[in-house]
Amino acid sequence: MKGKLITLEGIDGSGKSTVAKKLQKNPEIKAFEPVFTREPTRSTLTGNAVEKAIQSNTDQLAELFLFTADHAEHLAKLVKPALESGKIVISDRYSDSRYAYQGVTLKTRLENPLEWIKSLHQGWTIVPDLTFLFDIRPEVSIGRCGKRGEQSKFEKLEFLRAVREIFLRLAAEDPERFIVIDASRSPKYIEKEVTKRILEFLSRN
């Protein structure tokens, strides 16, 4: 089997990271011996730089390049080698998060930030084979974020509304790749639905 890249996307508080953790323990998924990962990466030079930028007032353009550098390092060191060896890679956030989030943060800096950021990735990034978009109203997700403790600068209502719009636009533009999940449903239902869709996808490919 050729390697496959599956990504989990959504605004903050959508529940995708919770599902990612459950998938790691799911016996049906574990049977494929997938590689689980995330962006921004953890405990890496680039990932640490991104985390510091998120918690500070880093310039928006500089922040984009930090995220992009982390993505490049992630591809080179983990994603590409795993795919080339035939592994299934499941990533909690990936390039679509950059398109959506930085597509909003750079609205006042660039005329068409989404297309500019996408063009920045052309020729070297790896497009996912399957992407789950955990869609939820920001009013609900904000409540979930609040329960986790201190909110980051990205966890603001108007900001998340704009990010959600871009995510839905990306999904509409690439329906073959995206599966939109109603993230307001119960965690048990969502895990079951995502597991079913992953197994169906892998059985076809």
Q: Which percentage of the chain shows pLDDT scores above 70? A: 94
Is the pLDDT reported for residue 150 higher than 60? Answer: no
Is the pLDDT reported for residue 145 higher than 90? Answer: no
Per the CB < 8 A criterion, the answer to whether 33 and 3 are in contact is: no
pTM of the entire predicted model: 0.93
Amino acid at 75: L
Res 57: pLDDT = 86
Q: How many whole angstroms separate alpha carbon 182 and alpha carbon 135?
A: 5
Res 1: pLDDT = 46
The number of residues in the chain equals: 205
For the domain that residue 82 is a member of, what is the CATH number? 3.40.50.300
Burial pattern 94-105, b for ≥16 Cβ within 10 A else e, equals: bbbbbbbbbbbb
Tokens 């992630």 belong to residue = 74
Domain assignment of residue 171, given as a range: 4-204
Q: What is the 3-state secondary structure (H, E, C) of 126-182?
A: CCCCEEEEEECCHHHHHHHHHHCCCCCCCCCHHHHHHHHHHHHHHHHHCCCCEEEEE
What total of structural domains would you count in the chain?
A: 1
Maximum Cα–Cα distance across the chain = 47
